[in-house]
């Protein structure tokens, strides 16, 4: 290998992806729904109560985070325009820094997806219990959690058309009631319910940072359209638009729903609430049907998120497998979906779910979920660094000169936002997340050795 190449990539370039039939690809509306659905999972139903102890200053943190997320979305859009292939962050890191960086990105992202899927399923069971009481039965709870995981997996195995249809329907069903709360609650907004602007004992900057640490992970998923670029029609045009539109829509809904709940639920009650949306609906519309309504919304939200994350969980290993960095089986596609990746991911998530319910140690599972908040940011950091590399390397096919300053500032903002995500993960999560990454080094060594021998 010559050391004079423009990019430090050691492995062979990925060949262009096989052209899928147009019917098996999805356009801008579904790509936008994929981004929105993956960003907004079940956490939105708990966020207002989580940040209420800091006061309405937490809305400032929301604004700062939104700017960072939009910067990251714009960077992904520019990267997808240059490299419109399935794999997203993996493709960008490999193009810029070579096989090892690409593998670490794929490995890190893959860990994030299947552990997060298990977490979503466990959380969804809690809301399902409101609709169909499981009476604390461990076998029934496990069966419900596995069903919640396998239904989206089956939708994925049916092909990208089915994935797109489910995602679009789930997004519509999820956002209609959320919009009702967001805008309907504003008609009953009472400023007396807001409480103090700065409720904590720390400084204002400390309060913003503390509330931001809770809100940071609400924007995970901005890369969704970029990861699935190979399944998007006209990806150079649609991936960037879907990423920005989906992020903006999710951010707007986050801000409106949080503000609406702040203004309809008294601050003292909101701080102690375990179901802030239920309290808001009950106070605005009267009655006690809010719990059932919120449970339905949360269940639809999580099923939609699982549908999208299941697709993403297979796309990055698929791209890496085509380059010889993951087992070859992951490169098999059927109806536009990497079937082996979907099956392996849902099996691993199912095993983790069963372990969570049978081990009787919630702390172990919570630690694993927290680790995913770190592993999810590794692809963000490497993608931002890759964009920075492309800009500074002066490669004419990748850089539009008039946009150089703007793109550089956006890239630095996205990198800073990603670092903030890592810091918000906490020392324990970063420490254990690094161990997860290093475990993948042995897998990379094995795959690289086999490829070299071949």
**Mean pLDDT, all residues of the chain:** 79
User: Predicted confidence band at 385 (pLDDT cuts at 50, 70, 90)?
Assistant: very high
Residue 362 is predicted with a pLDDT of: 56
Of 13, 6, 3, give the one whose Cα is nearest residue 83. 13
Q: What was the pLDDT predicted at 364?
A: 58
> Nearest CA to 30 among 303, 296, 295, 304?
304
pLDDT in tens, 195-233: 778 776 667 777 787 777 777 767 778 888 887 777 788
Determine the pLDDT at residue 232. Answer: 80
> Which pair of tokens denotes residue 246?
């989906």
What is the rounded CA–CA span in Å between residue 369 and residue 212?
18
Helices 58-82 and 204-215, axial angle in degrees (round to 10): 50
d(CA 6, CA 25): 33
**CA–CA distance, 255 with 275 (Å, rounded to integer):** 18
* Residue 29 and residue 168 in contact, taking contact as beta carbons nearer than 8 Å: yes
Which among 121, 133, 122, 118 is positioned nearest to 292, based on CA atoms?
133
Helix or strand or coil: residue 194? helix
Strand partners, 126: none
| C-beta of residue 418 within 8 angstroms of C-beta of residue 386 | no
Helix axes 99-131, 339-359, angle to 10 degrees: 60
In contact, 415 and 385? CB cutoff 8 Å: yes
Say if residue 444's pLDDT is above 90: no
- Non-local CB neighbours of 103 within 8 Å, separated by 6+ positions: 94, 320, 325, 440, 443, 444, 447
Q: What is the pTM of this model?
A: 0.78
Residue-level pLDDT at 415: 92
- Convert the pLDDT of each residue in 146-172 to its tens digit: 998 898 888 888 776 777 777 777 777
Q: SS3 sequence, 112-155?
A: HHHHHHHHHHHHHHHHHHHHCCCCCCHHHHHHHHHHHHHHHHHH
- The pLDDT assigned to 1 comes to 42
pLDDT digits (tens, 9 = 90+) for 6-23: 334 444 444 445 444 444
Residue 312 has pLDDT above 90, yes or no: no
Give residue-wise pLDDT tens across range 119-131.
888 878 877 877 7
Residue 52 banded pLDDT, cuts 50, 70, 90: confident
Q: Which of 104-113, 117-126, 374-383 has the lowest mean pLDDT?
A: 117-126
Tell me if 227 sits within 8 A of 312, measured CB to CB.
yes
Q: In terms of pLDDT, which residue wins out, 350 or 292?
A: 350
Q: pLDDT band at residue 381, thresholds of 50, 70 and 90?
A: very high
């Amino acid at each position: 290998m010559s050391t004079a190449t423009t990019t430090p990539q050691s492995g062979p370039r990925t060949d262009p992806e096989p052209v899928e039939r147009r019917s098996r690809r999805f356009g801008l509306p579904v790509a936008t729904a994929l981004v929105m659905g993956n960003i907004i999972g079940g956490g939105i139903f708990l966020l207002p109560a989580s940040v209420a102890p800091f006061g309405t200053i937490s809305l400032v943190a929301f604004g700062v985070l939104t700017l960072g997320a939009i910067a990251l979305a714009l960077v992904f859009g520019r990267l997808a325009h240059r490299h419109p292939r399935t794999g997203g962050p993996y493709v960008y890191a490999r193009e810029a820094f070579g096989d090892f960086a690409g593998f670490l990105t794929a490995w890190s992202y893959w860990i994030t997806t299947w552990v997060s899927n298990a977490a979503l399923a466990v959380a969804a069971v809690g809301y399902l219990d409101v609709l169909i009481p499981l009476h604390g039965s461990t076998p029934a709870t496990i069966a419900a959690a596995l069903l919640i995981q396998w239904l989206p997996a089956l939708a994925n195995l049916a092909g990208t058309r089915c994935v797109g249809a489910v995602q679009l329907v789930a997004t519509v069903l999820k956002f209609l009631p959320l919009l009702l709360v967001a805008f309907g609650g504003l008609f009953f907004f009472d400023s007396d319910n807001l409480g103090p602007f700065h409720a904590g004992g720390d400084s204002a900057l400390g309060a913003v940072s503390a509330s931001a640490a809770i809100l940071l992970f609400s924007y995970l998923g901005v890369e969704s359209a970029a990861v699935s670029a190979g399944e998007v029609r006209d990806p150079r045009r649609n991936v960037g638009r879907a990423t920005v539109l989906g992020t903006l829509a999710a951010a707007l809904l986050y801000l409106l729903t949080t503000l609406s709940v702040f203004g309809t639920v008294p601050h003292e009650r909101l701080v102690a609430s375990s179901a802030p949306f239920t309290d808001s609906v009950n106070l605005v519309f009267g009655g006690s049907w809010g719990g059932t309504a919120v449970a339905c919304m949360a269940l639809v939200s999580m099923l939609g998120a699982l549908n999208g994350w299941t697709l993403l969980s297979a796309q990055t290993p698929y791209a890496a497998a085509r380059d010889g960095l993951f087992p070859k089986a992951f490169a098999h596609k059927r109806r536009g979906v990497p079937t082996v990746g979907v099956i392996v991911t849902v099996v691993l998530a199912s095993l983790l779910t069963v372990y969570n319910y049978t081990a009787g140690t919630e702390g172990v599972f919570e630690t694993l979920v927290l680790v995913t908040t770190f592993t999810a940011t590794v692809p963000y950091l490497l993608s931002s660094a890759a964009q920075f590399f492309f800009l500074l390397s002066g490669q004419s096919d990748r850089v539009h000169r008039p946009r150089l300053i703007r793109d550089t500032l956006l890239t630095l903002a996205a990198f800073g936002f990603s670092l903030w995500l890592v810091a918000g993960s906490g020392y324990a999560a970063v420490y254990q997340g690094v161990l997860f990454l290093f475990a993948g080094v042995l897998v990379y060594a094995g795959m690289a050795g086999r490829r070299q021998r071949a």
